[in-house]
Structure 1
Amino acid sequence: MTDEARAAAALWGATHVRLILARENAVHEIALPDGTRAALRLHRIGYQTQASIASELWWCSELAALGLPVATPVESRAGNLLEPLATGRLASVVRWIDGTPLGTAGVPFPEPVAIQTDRHFRLGQLLRRLHTASDGLTLPATFTRPRWDAGGLVGEAPFWGRFWDHPRAAYVQRAVLLAARDAVRLHLDRTNPPIGLIHADVLRENVLFSESYPALIDFDDSGFGYRLYDLGTVLSQNQYEPARDELRDALMAGYGTQDVESVELFTMARTLASVGWTMPRLAPDDPIHISHLARAEMVARRIMA
């Protein structure tokens, strides 16, 4: 990994500093020739296609040009936003964004409720800006991204996998997951919400706050989907928070929606999708399998009740 990262960094004339994260992508901190920090991403083979990653980078460049606080892609020395490596991976670089994550997955917010409701309100405002700006773009003919539509969330082959077939799900849990899947499908059939470009992974670690203002990073899972799914993704990590409903209401107020039913259904949809995400990525004995199943069951029972 270090040799690969150093070779990739050299394509940008950069100096490799350290590995930050190795999950979907391997993300490294690098120092660009002008001395500024950047994030080098070595993309996971077989997850996103070259055309899909190129589309993500184009979209983020356009958003940054419009003044949105997102990680701006950086061209290599050859003038490319995406570079193939000898290992078969693709590499890209985005400028560093300083800030403190909204929180840590599985860890209760340490700050007072008033601070967190304010942060969720501002995040809701940013998501509204993101969606509005994206709707105004003219996409190139080659633009392609995953679809978080009905098929991608609860179809026969969801983008992150058939969550109801999770091998660690107990019989009762599987029954609840199937009922929740039907509930999401019925809601989508009944309401037919519009689809546009969404971030699709607005988790705590992907929202960085500088003072009181949020920025978004990691558009790796972004695509075409229901706009309120972005709100549901935020709220999926708040389900054990004592102020869960206050945080939901603040996020919705910032976004400018009063559609509690849809936001709750998309929160449930995200917890279901996250169960599917675990299956091909985590070791069979990883405790996250059990915790994600328990959360999805809890949320489904609460919302369907």
Structure 2
Amino acid sequence: MGRSLEPLLTPEQIESRLNLWPGLDGGTATLINLSENHTFRIDTPDGRAHILRVHRPGYHTRQGIESELAWLDALYRDAGLPTITSIPGKNGNALQYVHFPETGIATFAVLFAFEEGQNAEELDDLVPLFADLGRLSAICHRHAEAWQPPAFFKRPVWDDNAILNPDGPWGNWRETSGVTPEILTLLTRLERRLRDDLAAYGREKQRFGLIHADMRLANLLVHKGETRLIDFDDCGFGWFAYDFAAALSFFEDDPRVPELKATWLEAYRKERTFSAVDEAALDTNLLLRRMALLAWIGSHAETSLAQSCQPDFAENTAKMAEVYLTAR
């Protein structure tokens, strides 16, 4: 499921469309991230900054993006959660459909307020961060369990089929570089076990619902002691335990994981019930997330993040699988 991730849009092309939003005329665009989407920082002559997310064509529908924004608004309004704020265009809509005739691209874009803070990837001590993440996860899940979404609401489902099937949205883990025949055999056993364990765990309302789905360090800002979630682009329906697993993305085998898990659990349980059965599902979701990342690395091989992980990611995933299969 390879995708070309070379920059399709230049800062100059973005700058030519800034007149869609009030107050951005004369702004300067700087590409700060390229993954599923283009993310630009917009600096205006009067010293203000904004973040513009230009969506990958075909990744999310208008309905899907509007659903994401609806949950963001509801989390802020109903739960007081510190989230990012979208800024409407001149037509009053937060979601803009932008044409770039010179490239043949037409896609969606959302402008967000710029948030001050330190990227969580730069932190040395992750224990306080995981206390914050436990609390924030519980607040999100408690809200999701009680919230009645609008009739148009539609978001992806991040379950074992979406992640493990060959035609999953993040690609086919079997085709990722480093998946040798021996590793393929082992991970196929893991896949069967994960499916069985998740089926036994079930999808009751207190376990499965609307989740952020990508609370990894790169999607967190820390400012004056407050942790803020800055990217809900992959929010959807999954096991609540998956939000913990996503927080450990790309370092699931780190020796600090047991301490971070204990910290997350303690903070989570101060806000919302999380049973011993739910706790046991954390490890299952951790392996499920790891398999999702294995697929993502294979289908996004052009990105610097995937290239930095590729040399031993499949091998280390196999080592984690051996531990999981032996322990259960």
Task: Tell me, yes or no, whether TM beats 0.5.
Answer: yes
Q: Closer, same or farther in 2 for the Cα pair 1:272/1:78, shift >3 Å?
A: same
- 2:130 paired with 1:120: yes
- 2:73 paired with 1:61: yes
The superposition leaves residues 82-135 of structure 1 with CA deviations (integer Å, 9 ceiling, x where unpaired) of 11111212111112222212225xxxx633xxxx22221121100110111223
Question: Which of 248, 253, 264 is the equivalent residue of 2:283?
Answer: 264
Alignment of 1:122-201 (within 5 A): 122-155=132-165, 157-166=167-176, 168-193=178-203, 194-201=207-214
2:307 is paired with a residue whose SS is coil
- Report the Cα offset of residue 208 of structure 1: 1.3
CA–CA separation in structure 1 for the residues paired with 2:107 and 2:193: 39
Q: Equivalent pairs: percent with the same residue? A: 26
Is the 2:94–2:111 Cα contact (8 Å) retained in structure 1?
Answer: yes
1:214 is paired with a residue whose SS is strand
Question: Which of 206, 211, 218 is the equivalent residue of 2:231?
Answer: 218
- Report the Cα offset of residue 31 of structure 1: 4.2
CA–CA separation in structure 2 for the residues paired with 1:35 and 1:236: 35
Question: Which of 11, 17, 41 is the equivalent residue of 1:2?
Answer: 11
- Report the Cα offset of residue 147 of structure 1: 0.6
Partner of 2:257: 244
Partner of 2:4: none
- Report the Cα offset of residue 203 of structure 1: 0.8
CA–CA separation in structure 2 for the residues paired with 1:145 and 1:152: 13
Is the 1:131–1:197 Cα contact (8 Å) retained in structure 2?
Answer: yes
CA–CA separation in structure 2 for the residues paired with 1:206 and 1:153: 20
Structure 2 unpaired stretches of 5+? 1-9, 101-105
Alignment of 1:26-65 (within 5 A): 26-31=38-43, 36-65=48-77
CA–CA separation in structure 1 for the residues paired with 2:281 and 2:44: 44
CA–CA separation in structure 1 for the residues paired with 2:143 and 2:45: 32
Q: Give the RMSD, CA atoms, in angstroms.
A: 2.3
The superposition leaves residues 52-92 of structure 1 with CA deviations (integer Å, 9 ceiling, x where unpaired) of 11211222122222321111111111101111111212111
Q: Closer, same or farther in 2 for the Cα pair 1:157/1:4, shift >3 Å?
A: same
Aligned length: 297
Partner of 1:103: 121
Question: Which of 107, 110, 135 is the equivalent residue of 1:89?
Answer: 107
- 2:308 paired with 1:292: no
The superposition leaves residues 152-196 of structure 1 with CA deviations (integer Å, 9 ceiling, x where unpaired) of 233453332221343541111111211111111011111103321
Q: Closer, same or farther in 2 for the Cα pair 1:243/1:170, shift >3 Å?
A: same
Partner of 1:232: 245
2:94 is paired with a residue whose SS is coil
CA–CA separation in structure 1 for the residues paired with 2:166 and 2:202: 19
Is the 2:198–2:284 Cα contact (8 Å) retained in structure 1?
Answer: no
Q: Read off the aligned partner of 1:120 and give its amino acid letter.
A: F
1:225 is paired with a residue whose SS is strand
The superposition leaves residues 199-258 of structure 1 with CA deviations (integer Å, 9 ceiling, x where unpaired) of 111111111112332110111111111111011111343434332211111112222234
CA–CA separation in structure 2 for the residues paired with 1:73 and 1:180: 40
Alignment of 1:271-286 (within 5 A): 271-283=290-302, 286=307
Q: Read off the aligned partner of 1:286 and give its amino acid letter.
A: Q
Q: Read off the aligned partner of 2:314 and give its amino acid letter.
A: L
| TM-score, length basis structure 1 | 0.89
Is the 1:71–1:97 Cα contact (8 Å) retained in structure 2?
Answer: yes
CA–CA separation in structure 1 for the residues paired with 2:296 and 2:132: 28
Greater alpha carbon shift after TM alignment, 18-27 vs 3-12:
3-12
CA–CA separation in structure 1 for the residues paired with 2:55 and 2:290: 25
Q: Closer, same or farther in 2 for the Cα pair 1:237/1:168, shift >3 Å?
A: closer
